[in-house]
């Protein structure tokens, strides 16, 4: 190979590598990004059982049920609709009734959301941003909740 | 004292403007006296910022609640250590720490830069001053830590309990020393672009600064990872949280910079690329500061969400990143390209390293910013988490790690890949053996797990092979070999240590992810549970009172083979009444390099407690490897040729002799 050909092949190799990386990145974004929904969004959005989403809202009052062992059931609500959620594990320290939470997982065939992670707000002063924005958009945001 | 600090901060801002303008014009006019202003001003600016920081720290230490920032983030019952660390456990104080470190580095350039060309030194200090000016203005205009309250409250609102931890005392200063340390590389790059040339002293200067910044950033990230591991009680060491990514991106780019700076220093090739990488690395540090400080992201670190702050930092970001890249576009063509090399050579290996690391940086950047972009342009809210990064970042790292052992063994300019492969035969055979042993003899080991172990062994032995080959192992007598080994340049040890650390971290990650076990169950006092061959007995739940919290401490006994307890582990639920906040204190016992990890959940009606237990094999190697990388960086810094001060002193003496000899 001449010098020029060598240089071209190095450049072509580099570009092919970058192209592959870019392709992989966009494929992964399409496949692995999980969408955020509030319970009322689920009536319009088509979420398949098994599709990984994040479900946010408030923990509905009086719905927390501690069953056998470490499995907990509760409902997440945006005051319009509510969705039943089950979760096995340790709930975050700030998890309690009428507080904002984000759960991540998939819908089972029975329509119950099986969460594998539950996030509550980190601090007494804040609500998870997505939940706060969602509640504001639905007109049920109360300023007192932010403090 | 508080007003003195406030005043000192304003003065430091004014001085940073002087530091920007006077040396810059001095360098343009080639006026020695104007250029010489930069040094003393930089040192004074640092002294004033330090005074200001000390004033704030003393307000925190003495619980002066007339200061708004102290009132919001401190409490008189807090232990003194957390009162002091609380100084930077909040937005205002941490920004003050940021500029303190920035001016500190500026002062170091001023103090040790006497052997730099005068115009380069003046321009570097000017750029450093400009960054300082922007952040001083940011603090004074939007995040002033010295604002008073009248009337002064009696009691403070307490520091966020999860920040009341020793890990927090070390994590932010280290992280900032890293972030801000790259500002020196940035300033040197912009100064080189202003001058339109890069000379030998440029490369000699940039490399040690990169090493220092990289060393601290490595420590800061490792520390932050360990803090999240034990403090959040989730048992994970890395969550691909945007805030973690914000510190990881400058680290990846900085690692690339570290390697390309070697090529530039040794072979004066890749000059333009190194310069661009220096700009990008600090830009990512600024972006990290923006992401964490602006409140765009909600996390532990987003102390407050004030839109003016976000907009202000965004302006700073645009100004410096945009400005430096524009300058790069205009001036880069003036810089001369350096030496040529064959693709298969040390240089080639380092270019490959850079290609992988910058691509990996880009994927992390995309994954971090994509949700923000989607939210800005549509109503959808998405999150990009571990599955995305495992699919993109993982495949990029594996080939990079595979070629790491080749790099240091290849010759400069033109290398012989087969000769190197021959030398690595032993390491390769051992890695293969480790893979097979893992796959065949360890229960439940997947193919990936076995290959992961093999990769880690390959990295560790590859690093040791480098030392063995360079000291003539097997070719010369043992005595000579030891003498040769000790005589090797410190930077060779630095490389070997850092790569060894990388191997250890890989081993820790593979061990924890692939061989770790986990159990969630509800336990009554007196019950025992078995986890990966360890038997634990739940003794019971005991209430206790701390200085500013109440806790329920769950005590566990580790039962030995004989059936009697050999150790105790305790995990607690703490309640901090001031913030009405509960935290989990995880219980950890280290056994060899592995750890047993216990996290306490809620108490049930029947008196049982939900308990989550993990067995984390080799987990401590993750951070141990980080410490090893830091040791490698420290070792490289001690290398003789990087002692920037040493040659100048000798030269000065020499010139003193010659001038004395003149009539």
Q: Is B611 helix (H, G, I), strand (E, B) or coil?
A: strand
Does residue A85 lie within any of the structural domains? Answer: yes
The whole domain housing A81 covers 35-142
Beta-carbon contacts of residue B122 (< 8 Å; ≥ 6 apart): B23, B24, B26, B27, B34, B35, B38
B416: CB partners within 8 A, 6+ apart: B344, B410
Report chain A residues whose CB lies below 8 A from the CB of B359.
17-18, 21
Whether A33 has its CB under 8 Å from any CB of chain B: the answer is: yes
Rg over alpha carbons for chain B, rounded to the nearest Å, is: 27
Instruction: Note whether B601 contacts A35, CB cutoff 8 Å.
Output: no
Residue of chain B whose Cα is closest to the Cα of A147: B579
pLDDT single digits (tens) B416-472? 888 899 889 999 999 999 999 998 888 777 888 999 999 999 999 999 999 998 888
Please give the Cα distance from B119 to B121 (Å, whole number). Answer: 5
DSSP H or E run through B193? helix B166-195
**One domain, residues A84 and A122:** yes
pLDDT at B616 over 90: yes
Q: For the segment B470-484, what is each residue's pLDDT rounded down to a tens digit?
A: 888 877 888 888 888
Residues A18, A57 within the same domain: no
pLDDT band for B409, please (50, 70, 90 cuts). Answer: very high
In angstroms, rounded to a whole number, what is the distance separating the alpha carbons of residues B175 and B254? 13
Percent share of chain A, pLDDT over 70: 79
CA distance B371 to B452: 31
Rank A97-111, B105-119, B499-513 by mean pLDDT and report only the highest: B499-513
- State what percent of residues in chain B have pLDDT above 70: 94
Mean pLDDT (chain A) is 79
Q: Can you give the pLDDT at residue A66?
A: 78
d(CA A147, CA A125) in angstroms, rounded, equals: 5
Test A90 with B381 for CB contact under 8 angstroms.
no
Structure confidence at residue A1 as a pLDDT band (50, 70, 90): low
Residue A43 sits in the same domain as residue A115: yes
Residues A41, A4, single domain; the answer is no
Closest chain A C-alpha to B567 CA, distance in angstroms:
25
| DSSP percent split of chain A into helix, strand, coil, nearest 5 | 35, 30, 40
A31 Cβ under 8 Å from any chain B Cβ: yes
CA distance B191 to B202: 10
Q: What is the dihedral of CA B630, B634, B639, B640, to 10 degrees?
A: 170
Strand pairing category for A82-88 and B550-559:
unpaired
Give the model's confidence band at B337: pLDDT under 50 very low, under 70 low, under 90 confident, else very high.
low
**Do both A9 and A67 map to the same domain?**
no
CA-CA distance, B368 to B362, in Å (whole number)?
Answer: 10
Q: Are A57 and A99 within one domain?
A: yes
Separation between Cα atoms, residue B290 and residue B309, nearest integer Å:
9
Whether A50 is covered by a domain: the verdict is: yes
Give dist(CA A118, CA A88) in Å, integer: 10
Query: How would you classify residue B607: left for phi > 0, otherwise alpha for psi between -120 and 50, otherwise beta?
Result: left
pLDDT for B200? 72
HEC string of A75-95 equals: EEECCCCEEEEEEECCCCCCC
CA neighbours within 13 Å on the CB side: how many for B420?
21
Cα B402–chain centre separation:
24
Contacts of A115 in chain B (CB under 8 A): none
pLDDT digits 0-9 by tens, A84-120: 999 888 787 778 787 788 888 888 888 889 998 888 7
Residues from chain A that touch B599, judged by Cβ atoms under 8 A, are 90
Rg (CA), chain A: 22
Which helix (H) or strand (E) covers residue A72, if one does?
strand A71-77
Look at residue B51 and tell me whether its pLDDT is greater than 70.
yes
CA distances from B110 to A107, B44, B116, B226 (A): 61, 11, 10, 35
Same domain, A114 and A54: yes
Decide if A17 and B599 are in contact by the 8 Å CB cutoff: no
Whether residue A4 sits in one domain with residue A56: no
Please, are residues B203 and B125 in contact by the beta-carbon 8 Å criterion? no
Q: Is residue A147 part of a domain?
A: no
Q: Which of A34, A52, A124 sits opposite B580 (nearest CB)?
A: A124
A109 with A95, same domain: the answer is yes
Q: Is residue A3 a part of any domain in this protein?
A: yes
Q: Say whether the ipTM exceeds 0.95.
A: no
With beta carbons less than 8 A apart as the criterion, state whether A39 and A99 touch. Answer: no
Residue B144: half-sphere exposure toward Cβ, Cα within 13 Å: 17
- C-beta of residue B24 within 8 angstroms of C-beta of residue B73: no
Cβ distance A21 to B602 less than 8 Å, yes or no, reads no
* Residues A51 and A112 both lie in one domain: yes
DSSP B406-472: TGGGSPSSS--HHHHHHHTHHHHHHHHHHHHHHHHHSTT--HHHHHHHHHHHHHHHHHHHHHHHHTT
Tell me whether residues A25 and B392 touch, CB distance under 8 A.
yes
End-to-end CA distance of chain A: 71
As a whole number of angstroms, the distance between CA B192 and CA B272 comes to 10
Task: Please provide the average confidence, as pLDDT, over all residues in chain B.
Answer: 88
**Helix count and strand count (H, E) for chain A:** 2, 7
Rounded to two decimals, what is the model's pTM? 0.90
pLDDT for A146 equals 34
Instruction: Report the candidate in B504, B250, B516 with the shortest Cα–Cα distance to residue B401.
Output: B504
Closest CA to B623 of B300, B218, B255: B218
Band of residue A127 on the pLDDT scale cut at 50, 70, 90: low
Beta strands (DSSP E) in B354-420 are 382-383
Answer yes or no: is A45 within a domain.
yes
What value, to the nearest 5°, has the Cα angle with vertex B159 and ends B153 and B163?
175
Cα–Cα distance list, B16 to B44, B176, B179, B603 (Å)? 10, 19, 19, 56
Test the A interface: residue of B371, B382, B587, B613 with most A CBs within 10 Å? B382
CATH number for A57 = 2.40.50.140
Set of chain A residues whose Cβ sits within 8 Å of the Cβ of B520: 69-70, 88-90
**Residue B644 clears pLDDT 60, i.e. is over it:** no
Q: What's residue B14's pLDDT?
A: 97
* Largest distance between two CA atoms of chain B: 99
B579·A124 Cβ contact <8 A: yes
- SS3 category, B50: helix
**For residue B647, is pLDDT > 50?**
no
- If asked whether residues A41 and A28 sit together in one domain, one would say no
List chain A residues with CB under 8 Å of B298. Answer: 122, 126, 128-129
Tally the domains of chain A. 2
pLDDT at A143 over 70: no
Higher pLDDT, B495 or B165: B495
One domain, residues A24 and A39: no
Residue A102 lies in a domain: yes
Residues in B closer than 8 angstroms to A52, CB to CB, are: 387
- Residue-level pLDDT at B333: 83
Q: Where are the alpha helices (DSSP H) in B442-584?
A: 447-470, 478-487, 490-515
């Amino acid at each position: 190979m001449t010098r020029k050909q060598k240089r071209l092949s190095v450049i072509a190799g580099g570009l092919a590598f970058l192209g592959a990386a870019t392709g992989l990145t966009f494929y992964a974004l399409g496949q692995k990004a999980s969408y955020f929904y509030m319970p009322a969004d689920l009536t319009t959005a088509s979420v398949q059982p098994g599709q990984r989403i994040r479900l946010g809202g408030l923990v509905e009052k009086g719905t927390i049920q501690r069953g056998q062992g470490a499995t907990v059931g509760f409902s997440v609500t945006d005051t319009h609709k509510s969705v039943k959620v089950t979760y096995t594990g340790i709930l975050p320290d700030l998890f309690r009734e009428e507080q904002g939470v984000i759960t991540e997982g998939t819908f089972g065939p029975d329509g119950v959301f099986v969460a594998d992670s539950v996030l509550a707000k980190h601090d007494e002063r804040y609500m998870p941003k997505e939940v706060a924005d969602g509640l504001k958009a639905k007109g049920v945001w109360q300023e007192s909740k932010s403090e | 004292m508080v007003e003195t600090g406030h005043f000192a901060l304003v003065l430091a801002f004014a001085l940073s403007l002087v530091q920007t303008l006077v040396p810059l014009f001095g360098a343009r006019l080639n006026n020695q006296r104007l250029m010489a202003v930069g040094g003393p001003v930089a040192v004074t600016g640092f002294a004033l910022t330090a005074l200001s920081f000390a004033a704030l720290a003393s307000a925190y230490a003495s619980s002066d609640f007339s200061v708004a920032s102290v009132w919001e983030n401190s409490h008189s019952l807090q232990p003194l250590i957390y009162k002091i660390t609380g100084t930077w456990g909040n937005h205002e104080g941490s920004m003050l720490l940021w500029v303190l470190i920035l001016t500190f580095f500026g002062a170091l350039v001023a103090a040790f830069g006497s052997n730099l060309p005068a115009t380069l030194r003046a321009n570097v200090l000017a750029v450093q001053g400009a960054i300082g000016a922007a952040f001083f203005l940011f603090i004074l205009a939007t995040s002033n830590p010295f604002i008073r309250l009248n009337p002064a409250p009696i009691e403070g609102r307490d520091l966020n309990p999860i920040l009341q931890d020793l890990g927090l005392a070390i994590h932010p200063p280290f992280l900032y020393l890293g972030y801000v340390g790259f500002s020196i590389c940035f300033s040197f790059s912009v100064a080189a672009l202003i001058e339109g040339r890069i000379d030998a002293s440029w490369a000699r200067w940039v490399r040690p600064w990169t090493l220092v910044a990289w060393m601290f950033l490595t420590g800061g990230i490792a520390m932050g990872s360990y803090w999240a591991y034990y403090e959040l009680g989730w048992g994970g060491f890395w969550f691909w949280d945007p805030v973690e990514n914000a510190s990881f991106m400058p680290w990846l780019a900085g690692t690339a910079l570290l390697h390309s700076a070697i090529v530039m220093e040794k072979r004066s090739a890749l000059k333009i690329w190194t310069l661009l990488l220096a700009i990008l690395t600090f830009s990512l540090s600024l972006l990290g500061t923006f992401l964490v400080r602006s409140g765009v992201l909600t996390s532990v670190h987003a102390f407050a969400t004030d839109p003016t702050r976000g907009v202000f930092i965004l302006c700073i970001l645009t100004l410096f990143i945009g400005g430096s890249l524009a300058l790069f576009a205009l001036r880069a063509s003036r810089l001369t390209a350096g030496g040529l090399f064959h693709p298969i050579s040390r240089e080639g290996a380092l270019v490959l390293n850079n290609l992988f690391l910058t691509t990996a940086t880009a994927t992390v950047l995309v994954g971090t910013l994509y949700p923000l972009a989607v939210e800005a342009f549509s109503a959808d809210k998405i999150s990009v988490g571990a599955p995305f990064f495992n699919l993109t970042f993982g495949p990029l790292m594996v080939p990079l790690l595979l070629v790491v052992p080749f790099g240091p063994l290849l010759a400069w300019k033109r290398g012989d890949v087969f000769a190197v492969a021959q030398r690595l035969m032993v390491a390769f055979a051992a890695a293969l053996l480790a893979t097979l042993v893992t796959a065949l003899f360890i229960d439940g080991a997947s193919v990936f797990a076995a290959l992961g172990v093999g990769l880690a062994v390959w990295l560790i032995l590859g690093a040791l092979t480098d030392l063995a080959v360079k000291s003539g192992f097997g070719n010369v007598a043992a005595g000579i070999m030891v003498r040769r080994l000790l005589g090797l340049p410190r930077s060779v040890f630095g490389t070997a240590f850092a790569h060894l650390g990388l191997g250890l971290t890989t081993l820790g990650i593979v061990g924890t992810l692939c061989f770790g076990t986990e159990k969630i169950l509800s336990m009554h006092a007196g019950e025992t549970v078995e986890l990966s061959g360890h038997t634990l007995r739940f003794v019971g739940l005991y209430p206790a009172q701390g200085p500013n919290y109440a806790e329920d401490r769950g005590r566990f006994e580790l039962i030995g083979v004989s059936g009697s307890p050999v150790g105790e582990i305790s995990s607690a639920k703490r309640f901090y009444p001031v913030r009405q906040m509960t935290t989990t204190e995880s219980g950890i016992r280290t056994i060899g390099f592995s750890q047993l990890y216990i996290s306490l959940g809620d108490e049930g009606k029947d008196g049982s407690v939900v308990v989550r237990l993990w067995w984390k094999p080799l987990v401590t190697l993750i951070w141990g490897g980080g410490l090893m990388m830091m040791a490698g960086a420290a070792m490289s810094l001690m290398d003789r040729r990087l002692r920037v001060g040493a040659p100048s002193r000798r030269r000065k003496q020499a010139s003193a002799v010659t001038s004395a000899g003149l009539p």
